[in-house]
Structure formats: C-alpha cells, structure tokens
Structure 1
Amino acid sequence: MTSIILLSVFGIINLFLGFLRSNKLLLPLVMLALLVVFGVNLLDWNQGSPLFYNMLVVDNYLVAFTGIVVLTALVLIPFSRSYVKTGEPNLAEYYSLLLFSLVGAIMMIGYDHLIMLFVGIEILSISMYVLAGSDKRNVRSNEAALKYFLMGAFATGILLFGMALLYGATGTFHVSAIGTAVAEPANASLLPMLHIGILLMIIGLGFKVSAAPFHFWTPDVYEGTPTFFTAFMSTVVKTAGFAAFLKLLAQALPAAQGFWMPTIVAMCALTLLLGNIGAASQTSAKRMLAYSSVSHAGYLLIGLVGTNGQLFGSPAASGIFFYSLSYSIATVLSFGVLKLVGDQRGREDYAGLNGLAKQNPLLAFALTVSMLSLAGIPLTGGFFGKFFIFAAAVEHGAIGLVVFAVVMSMVSIYYYLKPVIAMYLQPADETSAPIEVDGVQRLTLIVLALLTIALGTIAPMFMSGLL
C-alpha cells in the first residue's frame, strides 16, 4: 500500500517539476523516487494485510513481484538520457506515466477482487497506450499507439465480459470466495456460464501477456513504440500480467483445472511455436526481440501449467518469479544496448550492430550476455529460469510440453546468435563512429550483465524459501 501511495505522490510531484523545464533534474529525482519505493516495498515482507475491504492483499507474493517491476523501471531509467540531451519537452509527463503505470502493475499483482484487477489493468494499459504514441512525428509510433489502443479496448471488453459471467456463476468478485464457489458449485446448471467466463478471462489476460493466438499486435506495436518504452512494455507489463494470471488460476480456479488446463497447454505450445519461428525470420533486431517476447510468454505459460493451486511454497510461483526476474534484466540489457545503437547509428537491424565489438567492447559484451540469457545458456539467469519452470511442469506431468519447449529453446539459439555474429564477426561500416556511453549508462550495463551472470551461478541458493 505504501508503494502505491509513494508512486502516486511522486508521479504528481514530477508533473509539477516539469514546469521547471529542467530535464537534467528529472532523471536523478525519478531514480531516487524508485529507489525509495523499492526499499519501502521490502519493509512489507512478512507483514501481510488486506486493504480496501479485502480488495487488495499485501503479502510476500506482492512484495516479491513488486520488487521486480520497480527494479526493472529503476535500471531502465538511465537509458532515457537521450531525452535529457535533446531537451524533450514532455519528459516529465513520460516519467509520470511510467510511475502511474507501476501503480497499475502493483494492483494487478496484489488484487484479491476482480474489480481491483480491472482497475490495475486499465491504469497500466492507458499509460502504455499514450507512451506507445509518444513519438508524435513518427508514423510508425502513431500506428503502434492506434493498434495497441484498439486491440487493448477489445481485449478489455472480453475480459470484463468474462468477469461478469464469473460473477454470475459464483455470486462474488473476491478471489478466495470464487475458489470456494467453484470447488463446491451451488447450482450445476451455471457451469456453462462459469466455463465461458473462464475462457473469456484467459483470452483477455492472454492479450496482455502477448500469448498466441492473441499476440499479433506485439511485433508492430513493439517496433513502432520508442525503444525505451518498448523495453518497459516487454518487461513490466509481462511480469504484472503473469503475476495476475497465476493468482487467478492458482487461487480462484484451481478446482476448475481440468477445464482450463487444455486451453493453457494449447496456448503455450502455439505461443512457443509462433514466437520462435517469427523471431527466426526477422532482419530487424528490435522486431526479433518483439517475437522473442512472445516466445518467452510461452515459457511463462509453462509455469501456469505447473501450478498446484498454491502461491506460497509452489514451484510454479517460484519459477515464474525467477524467470520474470532474469528475463526482465536480460531484456532491459538488450533493449538498452539497442537504444544506444539506434540513437547514434539510426539503425535497428542486425547490420547496425556490425563491428560493435571492436568499437564498443562493453556494449558488445552486455548484449552478448543478454542474448545468452534469453536463449537459456548455462551460467546465466535465463538458464535457471527455464530450469525452474520446466521442473514445475514435469512435476505436474507435462513432460511432452517440456520436451517441445526444449526443442523451441534450441531454435531460439539460432536467432539470438545473430546479433552476436554481427558484433564480433562482421566488419563495421567505415562511416560508423563508436557509440558514446556515459558513466551512468556504463555502470548500469555492467551491473545488469553481472547480475545476469550471478543469477546463473547462485540461483539455487537464491530460490531457497523465496515464496
């Protein structure tokens, strides 16, 4: 609760600071605000309490996933320095929208009432619609915002209809009460209404996390959105979406697992297939990362398959947490390098990375570490993220799905090595100059790269008793 209040207050204060027209002041203040929120959030560990008439619950689950989204925003902010240098007149508004969107993400993670889930989704989504179209002079950015808004509006309508049917079948919006009503249905004639409501909610949430076949907006929106906001969208939104998804299935609908499990398995397999095939066929590094984000939604869906009706002490919950953390760090690292290259070379394709290892060894090393982690190579956080997800699914009996996911992981190595090959084996364009990286960005890249490696070496200890 304190995190929500602080983020809201800081967001409003930041809007007023925008009148000073001093972008150099905004960036450190926003980073300080996020650092304070991150620290305050940790104080709620083991301090579980319901709020707003049990509509929101502050527990370790909320604290853990809130830590991921706030940390992601904190390490992403340094890569917005290009907006500071160019004197972007709307920078204060952009930062405030990011802070407000974090409020929505926290509501999505900690909801215990479906209306709170809806409010959180809308706060997060509306902020993203605006930021997707923030580059108003760019036709692709305008197109991305329009597509995202229209598709998001339809998905929200489907989600709301599903909530209404779920309420009609159970008589409540509270997550725990829904779980009880589904386990002991008072009227068997309402089961069709319940099942349709579950399917519609899965569709609505599937759109938010870019799961196939509701992913078609993702490549165009990610490509058209300014790279800085794309990184935020592909990490914070996905983490909050899967935290909400897991809570819905594990606490509200465990008794209906026999009904929704085949749907989740089918979505998972289709997401892995389309995401990896789509990524392998791209020539743009940014668009490849967009399809890559779709494929990682498939891996996280495997965690949902492994849920056993528990959030605490559940291998699925711990696996989704660790995967979200390692994926977010590696994704911020990759998009951070891509933004620096795109800002100064004006290219987002693989050719724009040619010869980067000789001109900027740090950028090449950071991007290599992120690619290896996203591919799930050992000694990186991505490897253990997949390992924990797969282990939870195998324990649940989904061996065939895990084998298919392993094959798709092998396919992903092909396209994740493309940027590495371009950086180390291709000659640089004679007209391309070394990429300028300031001290804060350099420190952020080093910390993220080392953290990715650390998560791949101390993961077993890190996971012990976490959730």
Structure 2
Amino acid sequence: MYPILVLSITGIITLFLGFLKSKKVLLPATLFFVTLAFLSNFYDWNKPGLYFNNMLQVNNYTILLSAIILLSAFLIIALSKGFIDDEHAQPAEYFAILQFSLVGAIMMTGYQNLIMLFIGVEILSVSMYVLTGSDKRNLRGNEAALKYFLMGSFATGIMLFGIAMLYGANFSFNIEAARTVIIQSQMTGRSVYLFVGVTFLLIGLLFKISAAPFHFWTPDVYEGAPTIFTTFMSTIVKTAGFAAIYRILEVSFSPIYNFWWVMVIIMTVLSLIISNVTAVSQSSFKRMLAFSSISHAGYMLMAVVGLSNKSDDSIVFYSLAYSLATISAFGVLMAVSKEKLVDGRPDESIAVLNGLSKRNPFLAFILAISMLSLAGIPLTAGFWGKFYVFSDAAFRGHTWLLVVAVLMSAVGIYYYFKPIIAAYMKENEGEVISLTPFYKIILGITTFGSILLGLFPDLLRSLM
C-alpha cells in the first residue's frame, strides 16, 4: 500500500519540478522517489493485511512482485538520461507518468476486488498509450500509439464485459467471494455468466501481456515507441499482467481449472510457436526482442497452466530473471543505436551490433549475458526461470506442452545467438562507443543479477 501513496505524491511533485529552468534535477529526483517507494514497499513485510476497504491485499508475495516492478523501474529510468539532453523532450511529464503508471502496476499485483483490478489496468494502460507516442516528430511512433490505443481500448472493453458477467454470477466484485460461490456449487443458472466472464476477463488480460493470438500490436508498438518506453512495456507491464492473471485464476477460479486450462494452454502453444518462428527472420533487433517478449509470455503461461503451490514462486523468479536480461539488452541497444542514424532515427537493426566487441568490449559482454539468459542457457537466471515453469507444467502432466516448449527453446537459441555473432564475429569500422560511469554501473547491476541468480537461484526463492 505504501508505494502507492508514495508514488502518487511524488508523481505530482515531479510535475512541479518541471517548472524549474534546469532539467538536471529531474532524473536524480525521480530515482530518489522510486527508491523511496521501493523501501516503503517492505514496511509491510511479514505483516499481511487488507487496505482501501478490503480492495487491496498486501502479503510477502505481492511485496516481492512490487519490488521487482520498482527495481525494474529504477534501472530503466536510470538509463534514460537521453531525455534530459533532448531539447524537444519534456522529462518532467515523462517521469511523472512513469510514476503514476507504477501505481497501476502495483494495484494489479494485490487487488482483492475486480474494480481495483480495472483501475490498475487503466492507469497502467493509459500511461503507456501516452508514452508510446511521446516523440511527436516520429510518425512511426504516432502510428504505434494510435494502434496501441485502439486495440487496447477494445481489449479493455472485453475485460470490462467479463467483469460485468462475473458480477452477474457472483453478485460481488470480491475475488474470494467468487471462489466461495463456486466451491459451494450455488451457480445453477448463473454458470453461463461465470464461464463467459472468465473467458472475456482472460482475453482482456492476455492482451496486456501480448500473448498470442492477441499479440499483433506488439512488434509495431515496440518498434515505434522510444526504446526506453519499450523497455518499460516489455518488463513492468508484463510482470504486472502476469501477477493479475495468476491472482484471479489461483484465488477465484482454481476450482474450475478444468474449464479454463484448455484455453490457456492453446494460447501458450500459439505464443511459443508464432513468436519463435517469426523472430528467426527478423533483421531489426528491436522487433526480435518484441517477438522474444511474446515467447516469454508463453513460457510464463506454463506456470499458470501448471497452477501448483510453487507457481507463484516460479512467476516471481521468472519475472525478475526476464526483466534483468531484457533491460540489459535494451540498454545495449540504446547505447549502440544512437551512434548511427537511419532516416533521422537511431539504427536499431542487428547489423548495428557488428564488431561491438572491438568498439566496446563491456557492452558486448553485457549483450552476450542478456541473450544467453533470454535463451535459457545454464549458469544464467533465464535457465532456472525456464526450469521452474517447465516443472510446473510437468506437475499437471502436460508432457506434450513440455516437448513444444523445449523445441521452441531450441529455435530461440538460434535467433538469440545472432546478436552475439554480430558482436564478436563480424567486422564494423564504427567508432569506439563511450559510456558514462553511471550507465556502466546500471548495466553491470543487471548483468550481475542475471549471473548471481543463475549460480544461486535459491537466493530469491528462499524469500518466498
């Protein structure tokens, strides 16, 4: 609860800081505000409770998810110094919107009421619509923002219809009340409302995590949006979305597992196959990471399909492992792409990474570790993340799903190694890339985290 209060207040303060003549104070101030929210998040550790008229629950699990969201936000914002230097940018507005969006993301991790879920989704979604089109000079970004807004609005309408159907079945927006009604078998004629509500609610939430077949917006939006906001979408939005999906299915609808698991497993398979096969042919590093995001949605859905007492641990671990590796990859892209412009925009192709090991060995190493982690290679956090979600699927006996996931992981290794090959085995006569010490520290933290969790995965799971 406390991060919500902190970020709501500091977001307003950030807007007022925008009136200052100097923009240099905005970045350190925002980092301080996010750090303050991160520290306040642990005030409720081992003190579970309900807040806001029993509409929001706080426990150790929701605290860990919120911590991952806030940590990811800190790392992403720390890489955003380019906004301060761009004379056309309005960093105060950007940083304030990012803080407000974090409020929505945290609401999605611990909602106890479907109204709170809807508010959280909308706060997060509207913020992303605005930030996607924040670069008004970029026509591709404007198109991406419009596409994201239109498709997101339809998804929100579908989700809201599902919430209405669930209320018709349970006469309550409380997610635990829904479980009680289902267990007591009091549905009778209202069963239709329940099943329709579950289906439509899931469709709306699966759109937010870009799971197939609701993924069509992802490549264009990821490519058109400024890279710093693409990083935000691919990590924080995905973490919050999975927290919301798992919570509603585990708390409310686990008694009707036999109804919804078929739908979720079909979307899991589609996400794995479509994304990995399509990513192979991508020449744009940013679009490749977009399809990578879709594939990891499929892997994380395996934990939902497995739905055991360890699934929440798997989602927490996978979210952190994926976030660290993705922030590293986008951080390298932001540093390298600005060195070469194509049609007035940074070059975001895989070819821009050619010869990176000679131009900046540190960035090449960061890139290699991030790609290895995303591919699930041993001794990285990504390996254990996949191991845990595969174990969850095996718990339910979905052996054929494991076969599909392993095959698609092999396909993923092919395209994840393309940037590594470009960095270490191809030549480029580009200039040496220089980084600020702070930028190096942030990328060092994300890479160190990927390696540390790969070597000692129990460090995180011991907290749960």
Q: TM-score, normalised by structure 1?
A: 0.97
Using the alignment, how far apart are the partners of 1:48 and 1:94 within structure 2? 33
Q: Alpha-carbon deviations, 1:160-181, whole Å to 9, x = none?
A: 0000001101111101101111
Task: Point out where structure 2 has 5 or more consecutive residues left out of the alignment.
Answer: 342-346
CA contact (8 A) 1:304 1:316 kept: yes
Count of residues in Structure 1 that have an aligned counterpart in Structure 2:
459
CA contact (8 A) 1:276 1:291 kept: yes
Deviation at 1:463, TM superposition (A): 1.3
Aligned to 1:441: 439
Q: Which amino acid aligns with 1:455?
A: L
Q: Alpha-carbon deviations, 1:384-405, whole Å to 9, x = none?
A: 0011111111112122111211
SS at match of 1:57: strand
Using the alignment, how far apart are the partners of 2:149 and 2:85 within structure 1? 30
Q: TM-score, normalised by structure 2?
A: 0.97
Aligned to 2:147: 147
1:302-341 matches, within 5 Å, as 302-308=302-308, 314-341=309-336
1:396-415 matches, within 5 Å, as 396-415=396-415
Q: Which amino acid aligns with 1:233?
A: M
Using the alignment, how far apart are the partners of 1:343 and 1:371 within structure 2? 21
SS at match of 2:40: helix
Q: Which amino acid aligns with 2:433?
A: I
1:92 is aligned to 2:89: no
Using the alignment, how far apart are the partners of 2:395 and 2:52 within structure 1? 37
Deviation at 1:109, TM superposition (A): 0.7
Q: Which amino acid aligns with 2:338?
A: D
Structure 1 residues 340, 101: CA separation in 2 closer, same or farther (over 3 Å shift)? same
Using the alignment, how far apart are the partners of 1:73 and 1:186 within structure 2? 44
CA contact (8 A) 1:65 1:109 kept: yes
Aligned to 2:2: 2
SS at match of 2:25: helix
Q: Which amino acid aligns with 2:437?
A: G
CA contact (8 A) 1:23 1:87 kept: no
Using the alignment, how far apart are the partners of 1:433 and 1:187 within structure 2? 68
Using the alignment, how far apart are the partners of 2:143 and 2:334 within structure 1? 20
Deviation at 1:85, TM superposition (A): 2.1
Deviation at 1:434, TM superposition (A): 1.8
Using the alignment, how far apart are the partners of 2:185 and 2:119 within structure 1? 28
Deviation at 1:19, TM superposition (A): 0.5
Aligned to 2:373: 373
Using the alignment, how far apart are the partners of 2:101 and 2:339 within structure 1? 29
1:203-218 matches, within 5 Å, as 203-218=203-218
Q: Alpha-carbon deviations, 1:280-323, whole Å to 9, x = none?
A: 11010000000000000000000101113xxxxx2111001100
Aligned to 2:77: 77
Aligned to 1:234: 234
Q: Alpha-carbon deviations, 1:69-104, whole Å to 9, x = none?
A: 000010111211111222454100000010000000
Using the alignment, how far apart are the partners of 1:131 and 1:86 within structure 2? 15
1:345 is aligned to 2:343: no
CA contact (8 A) 2:356 2:364 kept: yes
Deviation at 1:59, TM superposition (A): 1.1
Aligned to 1:311: none
Aligned to 1:171: 171
1:51-62 matches, within 5 Å, as 51-62=51-62
Aligned to 2:449: 451
Aligned to 2:157: 157
CA contact (8 A) 2:114 2:163 kept: yes
Q: Alpha-carbon deviations, 1:36-55, whole Å to 9, x = none?
A: 11111122111111111211
Q: Alpha-carbon deviations, 1:356-398, whole Å to 9, x = none?
A: 1001001100011000000000000000001111111111212
CA contact (8 A) 2:453 2:459 kept: no
Q: Alpha-carbon deviations, 1:213-238, whole Å to 9, x = none?
A: 00000000000000000000100000
Aligned to 2:344: none
SS at match of 1:344: coil
Task: Point out where structure 1 has 5 or more consecutive residues left out of the alignment.
Answer: 309-313
Quote the sequence identity (%). Answer: 51
Using the alignment, how far apart are the partners of 2:87 and 2:167 within structure 1? 49
